[in-house]
């Protein structure tokens, strides 16, 4: 099983009203890109919610990227059948692309994990009253 991990205690809002925090994928004993990965969490969760919805409703063979905003990392999801996708954890480098790991998972399982992570972030945002356009878009998606 693949899950999206959020550490709500790391969430903070900048003077530019961007919200950052620790966010990463976990599968088995592995994490991607890193267990302390800090990124623009609202923006990427918005992207990831859109990507999983596309994979959920598209035809077999469709691919979608789960991008990080910072760094050379992303996860390519490929729809294998009506219920499953393969995820390819990838790093861009000078030589091209390096697939660090590939894992199969259920679309529903990953979707639930993305939505749950998004709800955890939204709960913290609401508690702190951090309202931005990015927050409104994420709220609409979940």
Confidence tier at 15 by pLDDT (50, 70, 90): confident
Lowest mean pLDDT among 29-33, 131-135, 136-140: 131-135
Residue 116 belongs to some domain of the structure: yes
* Share of residues in the chain with pLDDT > 70 (%): 100
Tell me, what's the pLDDT at 131? 85
What is the domain count for the chain? 1
Range of the domain at 46: 2-133
Tell me, what's the pLDDT at 111? 97
Look up residue 91 and give its two tokens.
């790093």
Tell me, what's the pLDDT at 133? 82
Higher pLDDT, 31 or 131: 31
CB 100 within 8 A of CB 123: no
CATH number at residue 97: 3.30.2450
Residue 94 belongs to some domain of the structure: yes
């Amino acid at each position: 099983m693949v899950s999206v991990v959020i550490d709500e205690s790391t969430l903070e809002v900048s003077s530019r009203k961007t919200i950052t925090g620790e966010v990463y994928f976990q599968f088995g004993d592995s994490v991607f890109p890193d267990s302390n990965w800090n990124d623009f969490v609202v923006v990427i969760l918005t992207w990831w919610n859109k990507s999983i919805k596309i994979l959920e409703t598209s035809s077999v063979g469709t691919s979608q990227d789960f991008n990080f905003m910072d760094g050379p990392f992303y996860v390519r999801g490929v729809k294998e059948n009506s219920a499953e996708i393969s995820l390819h954890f990838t790093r861009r480098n000078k030589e091209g692309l390096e697939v660090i790991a590939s894992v199969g998972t259920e679309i529903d399982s990953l979707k639930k994990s993305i939505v749950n992570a998004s709800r955890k972030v939204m709960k913290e945002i609401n508690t702190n009253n951090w309202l931005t356009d990015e927050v409104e878009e994420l709220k609409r998606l979940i």
